[in-house]
C-alpha cells in the first residue's frame, strides 16, 4: 500500500465514516497569509461547516495543502502530470474547532442554525520568485439544500491564495476579513452587513461579489477519494480553478441572492445591503483586492453561505379586544363596569423592555406600566388610550385603544306552568338595561330547543330539573345571561302507546312503545297485559303464549305524586297457530337410494307446502315422495297453515351422499376356456379417485398392480410373464371416495387351474 493510500484511509478512519459515506458539510471558507520575514509566510485557512447537517463529514483532521509556482495559470495545469513540478506539499493538522454564535437580532427570533469554524495554520519558506506561488486546499462537498447553484451536492470548494512577485518583494500581508457573515438572514427584513476587511499594511481595498471556486468532487471510494474528482484531493490540484455553476439567469456570481431591492456590495466599504425575500440557502463569493500605489498585490477569495429563513414577527402591541377597527386599532367595551382590566397580548414579550399605557380621562392623561393594568373610568362614556412598547427604538410598536363604558344590563325572566298535567311552559322576559332598549333575546330551553323572542311558550317532552338560560342584548351590544332551574315533573296529558291494535299468531312477541310524554326512569309505570303478565318498564316487550283477546292497561305516577292511567280494551288479538313437523326415510339417503319419503308430523295444520331445496316445484301433499337427482346438502322446508291462517315453518337439512360400491371375487380359473379367466372387480365407482389394486403371492412378491378399477389379472406375473401357480393370493384395494374419504378393501383370491 502506497503512503498516499495509507494517508487517505487514515483520514477516513479519523472522520469516523466509511468511504461510501456522505461528504457534504461545507458552507464556506477563506485563506489569508502573513509575512513573517526571511521568506517565511504564515498561512491561515478558516473552514466553515454545517453542524446541524446529518450524516455529514467532519473537518479534515489533516488538510492536504499544495503549493504551485507558475506565472501563467494555463501552464499550471500541466503540473498535474508531474508531481516533481510541484513546489511543495504540506499536511496541515486541524488546529481548533469552535461554534459561530447566532446573530443578535434585537427583536427577531431566527430559526436554529449551527455553524462551526475549523482553523488550519501553517508556515512555508518560499524563496523570492519572479512567478506567483499558488497555495491551495480543496474539499467536497456543499449542502444539498443550496438554492442558487446547480447540483450543489456534487460541488466542492477550493480555498486558495496567490502570493504574487509584487507581494514577495515588499513582504506583504494579505487583508483579513473582520467578521463572519450572519448565520441567518430574515426573509423580507432589510440586510446591512459590514463585510469589510482589515489590511495590516494600510493598502487600498476594493470589494466585489465573485464566483466561488470548485474543487474536488463527490467520489468517495478509496481509489478516487484523494484524486481531483474525489472528496478530498491529496494534494490539492493545480490552478486554474473553475467557478461554481450558478442557476442563471435568476442567480449569478454578481447577483447571488436576488432580493427587493437586490443584495449588493459596496466596492469601497464592503457593506452588503438589500432585502432578500426568497427563503433558501445561497452560496456567495466576496473578493477583496489589495492595491498599493496602484499595483495589485493580492486578492483574497471568501466563500460563504447565507441562510435566508422566516423569522418570528417583530414586537407587536396587541390587546384582548371586542372589535378591531384597523391596523393596531382596538375597541374594548364594558357594560356596567367602570373598572376595566386590559389583557395585554403583545409579543415578543422577552424583547419588550419598556411599556406604557396612556388614557385620556376627562382631559387628563393617566399612565400605567403594569403588563395588564386595571383602569377605573369615571362613568359611562367614550375614552381613548394607547399602548406603547419600546418607544423610540427599532423594536417598538403602538396600539390605539378606544374604550366604551356602557350602562348596565341585567337579564331576568319568570315562568308558569301546570305542575301536574303536561302542557306548555310560559316564559316572560323581565330583563332591564340602562340604554335605550333591548334588541336581542336568546332562549336556551335546556332540551336542545331555543327561541329568539321576548316571551316564548315551550312544550317539553322530557321531565327533570331543566336549566333554562336567557341571554339578552341591548342597543350597545351589551349582553347579560341568567340561568334558572325549571322543576318539571307533570304526568302526560294523554297516554299514547303503539301498537294501537294487534292481530297476530301464537306466540305473539309484541313491543309496547310508550309514546307518552313527559316520562323517564324516575316515573312509576305499571303495565297490565291482560294475560296475567305485567311490567314496570317505560316501553316493555311481552310474549303472548295463548290465543285469545286481551285488554292492556297503563298507569303513570310522577316523582311528585301526580297520577294518570288508561285502559286499552281488546287491544291484542292472538290467533291459534299450527306446529310444523316431519320425518323422512331412508335415514341415510344417497345417490344410489335417491327416493325420499316424507312423513308429516305437524299438528293443527290445514294446508301443507313443501320446498325440497333442489329447485323442483315442491309439493302440497301432507306426505310427499321426492327423488333427488344430485348429491349434496339440501334444505327441506315445510310450511303448515292453521285454519286461522296462522303458519309455522320447519327446516331440516338432508345430505344426499355420493356412494361407490366395489366388489372383488374370491376365485378365478385362468385356463383359457373364456369362463372366469380374469380376476377383476365390479361395481359403481363414479367419483372415486386414487384407485390402486395390488396382488401378492404367499412369499410377499408383487405379481400384479393397476390403477384402473376395472382392469383384470390374467394369472400371469404382471399379466405378461409366466403363469402363476394355483394357490391363494392376497388382494389389497385402496381408493378415495367421492368426498375424499379413504377406503381400503383387503381380501384373498384363489387361483385355480
Eight-class DSSP state of 153: G
Q: Give me the pLDDT at residue 104, please.
A: 64
- Under CATH, which number does the domain 497-572 receive? 2.60.40.10
Residue 155 has phi, psi (to 5 degrees) of -95, 115
Whether pLDDT at 109 is above 70: no
Query: What 3-state DSSP class applies to 594?
Result: coil
pLDDT of amino acid 310: 81
Which residue is listed with cell 446529518? 54
Instruction: Determine the pLDDT at residue 15.
Output: 34
Q: What is the pLDDT of residue 20?
A: 36
- What distance lies between CA 108 and its chain's CA centroid? 32
pLDDT per position as a tens digit, 202-230: 999 999 999 999 998 888 888 888 898 89
Q: What is the mean pLDDT of residues 476-496?
A: 96
User: Looking at the predicted structure, is the pLDDT value of residue 112 above 90?
Assistant: no
Q: What's the pLDDT at 219? A: 87
pLDDT of residue 410: 96
Of 96 and 145, the structure prediction assigns the larger pLDDT to 96
* pLDDT tens per residue across span 419-442: 999 999 999 999 999 998 999 999
d(CA 17, CA 57): 7
Tell whether omega for the bond before 586 is within 30 degrees of 0, i.e. cis.
yes
Q: Give CA–CA dist 242/213, Å, rounded.
A: 6
CA distance 422 to 556: 13
Angle at 252 between CA 250 and CA 253, to 5 degrees: 160
What global pTM score does this model have?
A: 0.48
pLDDT of residue 108: 63
Between CA 260 and CA 243 the distance in angstroms is 26
pLDDT, average across residues 605-622: 95
- Among candidate residues 306, 297, 304, the one with its CA nearest the CA of residue 161: 297
What residues form DSSP beta bridges with 601? Answer: none
pLDDT score of 40 more than 50: yes
The 10s digit of each residue's pLDDT in 542-599 is: 999 999 999 999 999 999 999 999 999 999 999 999 999 999 999 989 888 899 999 9
- Domain boundaries 582-656, CATH class: mainly beta
Asked whether residue 252 carries a pLDDT value surpassing 90, the answer given is yes
Q: Which residue has the cell 335605550?
A: 436
State the pLDDT confidence band at 25, using cuts at 50, 70 and 90. Answer: confident
Residue 684's pLDDT band, with cuts at 50, 70 and 90, is confident
Nearest residue to 365 (alpha-carbon basis) of 353, 350, 383, 380: 383
Predicted pLDDT at 73: 66
> Who's near 178: CB < 8 A, 6+ residues apart?
194, 196, 197, 198
Q: Give the span between the Cα atoms of 195 and 274, in whole angstroms.
A: 14
Looking at residue 298, the DSSP 8-state letter turns out to be E
Percent residues over pLDDT 90 in the chain = 72
What is the third-level CATH fold of 661-751? Immunoglobulin-like (2.60.40)
Same fold, 323-406 and 409-488: yes
Band (pLDDT 50/70/90 cuts) for residue 753 is: confident
Domain ranges, ordered by start, for the chain? 3-309, 323-406, 409-488, 497-572, 582-656, 661-751
Contact 400, 386 (CB under 8 A): yes
User: What's the average model confidence in pLDDT over 335-364?
Assistant: 91
**Domain 409-488 bears CATH identifier 3.30.460.80:** no
Count CB-CB contacts under 10 A for residue 13. 11
pLDDT at residue 488, as a whole number: 97
Residue 1 has what pLDDT?
Answer: 34
Phi, psi angles (nearest 5°) of residue 12: -60, -40
Q: Of 292-296, 388-392, 490-494, 572-576, where does mean pLDDT reach its minimum?
A: 388-392
* Residue 376 pLDDT > 90: yes
- Summary mean pLDDT of the chain: 90
Instruction: Note the pLDDT of residue 19.
Output: 37
Distance (Å, rounded) from C-alpha 638 to C-alpha 600? 9
Q: Does domain 323-406 have CATH number 2.60.40.10?
A: yes
Amino acid at each position: 500500500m502506497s503512503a498516499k493510500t495509507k494517508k487517505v484511509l487514515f483520514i477516513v478512519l479519523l472522520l469516523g465514516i466509511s468511504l461510501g459515506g456522505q461528504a457534504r458539510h461545507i458552507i464556506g471558507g477563506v485563506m489569508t497569509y502573513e509575512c513573517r520575514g526571511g521568506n517565511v509566510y504564515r498561512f491561515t485557512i478558516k473552514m466553515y461547516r454545517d453542524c446541524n447537517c446529518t450524516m455529514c463529514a467532519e473537518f479534515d483532521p489533516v488538510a492536504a495543502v499544495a503549493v504551485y509556482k507558475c506565472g501563467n495559470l494555463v501552464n499550471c495545469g500541466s503540473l498535474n502530470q508531474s508531481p516533481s513540478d510541484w513546489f511543495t506539499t504540506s499536511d496541515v493538522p486541524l488546529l481548533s474547532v469552535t461554534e459561530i454564535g447566532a446573530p443578535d437580532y434585537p427583536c427577531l427570533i431566527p430559526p436554529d442554525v449551527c455553524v462551526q469554524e475549523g482553523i488550519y495554520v501553517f508556515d512555508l519558506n518560499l524563496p523570492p520568485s519572479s512567478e506567483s506561488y499558488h497555495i491551495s486546499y480543496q474539499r467536497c462537498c456543499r449542502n444539498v439544500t443550496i438554492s442558487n447553484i446547480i447540483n450543489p451536492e456534487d460541488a466542492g470548494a477550493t480555498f486558495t491564495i496567490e502570493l504574487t512577485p509584487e507581494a514577495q518583494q515588499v513582504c506583504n500581508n494579505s487583508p483579513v476579513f473582520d467578521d463572519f457573515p450572519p448565520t441567518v438572514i430574515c426573509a423580507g427584513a432589510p440586510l446591512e452587513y459590514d463585510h469589510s476587511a482589515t489590511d495590516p499594511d494600510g493598502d487600498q481595498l476594493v470589494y466585489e461579489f465573485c464566483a466561488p471556486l470548485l474543487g474536488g468532487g463527490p467520489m468517495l471510494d478509496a481509489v478516487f477519494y484523494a484524486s481531483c474528482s474525489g472528496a478530498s484531493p491529496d494534494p490539492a490540484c493545480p490552478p486554474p480553478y473553475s467557478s461554481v455553476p450558478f442557476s442563471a439567469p435568476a442567480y449569478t456570481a454578481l447577483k447571488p441572492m436576488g432580493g427587493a431591492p437586490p443584495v449588493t456590495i459596496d466596492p469601497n466599504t464592503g457593506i452588503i445591503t438589500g432585502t432578500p425575500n426568497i427563503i433558501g440557502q445561497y452560496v456567495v463569493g466576496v473578493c477583496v483586492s489589495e492595491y498599493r500605489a496602484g499595483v495589485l498585490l493580492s486578492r483574497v477569495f471568501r466563500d460563504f453561505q447565507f441562510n435566508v429563513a422566516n423569522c418570528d414577527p417583530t414586537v407587536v402591541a396587541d390587546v384582548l379586544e371586542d372589535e378591531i377597527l384597523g391596523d393596531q386599532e382596538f375597541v374594548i367595551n364594558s357594560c356596567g363596569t367602570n373598572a376595566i382590566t386590559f389583557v395585554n397580548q403583545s409579543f415578543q414579550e422577552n424583547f419588550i423592555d419598556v411599556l406604557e399605557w396612556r388614557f385620556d380621562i376627562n382631559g387628563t392623561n393617566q399612565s400605567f406600566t403594569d403588563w395588564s393594568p386595571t383602569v377605573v373610568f369615571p362613568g359611562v362614556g367614550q375614552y381613548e388610550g394607547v399602548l406603547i412598547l419600546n418607544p423610540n427604538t427599532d423594536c417598538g410598536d403602538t396600539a390605539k385603544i378606544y374604550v366604551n363604558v356602557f350602562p348596565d344590563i341585567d337579564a331576568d325572566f319568570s315562568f308558569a306552568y301546570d305542575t301536574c298535567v303536561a302542557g306548555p311552559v310560559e316564559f316572560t322576559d323581565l330583563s332591564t338595561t340602562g340604554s335605550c332598549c333591548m334588541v336581542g333575546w336568546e332562549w336556551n330551553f335546556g332540551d336542545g330547543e331555543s327561541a329568539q323572542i321576548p316571551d316564548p311558550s315551550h312544550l317539553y317532552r322530557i321531565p327533570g330539573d331543566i336549566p333554562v338560560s336567557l341571554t339578552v342584548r341591548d342597543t350597545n351590544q351589551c349582553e347579560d345571561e341568567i340561568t334558572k332551574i325549571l322543576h318539571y315533573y307533570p304526568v302526560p296529558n294523554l297516554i299514547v302507546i303503539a301498537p294501537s291494535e294487534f292481530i297476530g299468531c301464537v306466540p305473539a312477541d309484541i313491543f309496547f312503545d310508550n309514546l307518552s310524554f313527559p316520562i323517564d326512569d324516575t316515573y312509576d309505570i305499571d303495565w297490565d297485559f291482560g294475560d296475567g303478565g305485567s311490567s314496570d318498564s317505560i316501553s316493555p316487550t311481552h310474549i303472548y303464549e295463548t290465543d285469545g283477546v286481551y285488554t292492556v292497561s297503563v298507569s303513570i305516577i310522577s316523582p311528585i305524586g301526580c297520577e294518570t292511567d288508561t285502559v286499552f280494551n281488546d287491544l291484542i288479538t292472538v290467533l291459534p297457530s299450527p306446529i310444523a313437523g316431519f320425518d323422512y326415510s331412508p335415514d341415510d339417503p344417497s345417490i344410489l337410494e335417491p327416493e325420499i319419503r316424507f312423513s308429516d308430523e305437524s299438528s293443527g295444520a290445514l294446508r301443507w307446502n313443501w320446498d325440497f331445496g333442489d329447485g323442483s316445484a315442491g309439493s302440497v301433499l301432507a306426505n310427499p315422495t321426492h327423488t333427488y337427482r344430485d348429491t349434496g346438502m339440501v334444505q327441506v322446508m315445510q310450511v303448515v297453515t292453521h285454519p286461522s291462517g296462522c303458519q309455522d315453518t320447519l327446516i331440516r337439512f338432508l345430505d344426499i351422499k355420493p356412494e361407490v360400491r366395489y366388489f372383488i371375487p374370491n376365485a378365478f380359473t385362468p385356463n383359457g376356456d373364456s369362463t372366469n379367466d380374469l380376476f377383476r372387480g365390479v361395481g359403481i365407482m363414479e367419483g372415486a379417485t386414487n384407485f390402486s389394486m395390488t396382488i401378492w403371492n404367499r412369499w410377499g412378491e408383487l405379481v400384479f398392480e393397476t390403477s384402473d378399477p376395472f382392469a383384470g389379472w390374467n394369472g400371469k406375473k404382471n399379466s405378461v410373464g409366466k403363469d402363476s401357480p394355483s394357490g391363494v393370493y392376497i388382494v389389497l384395494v385402496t381408493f378415495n371416495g367421492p368426498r375424499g374419504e379413504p377406503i381400503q378393501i383387503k381380501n384373498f383370491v384363489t387361483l385355480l387351474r
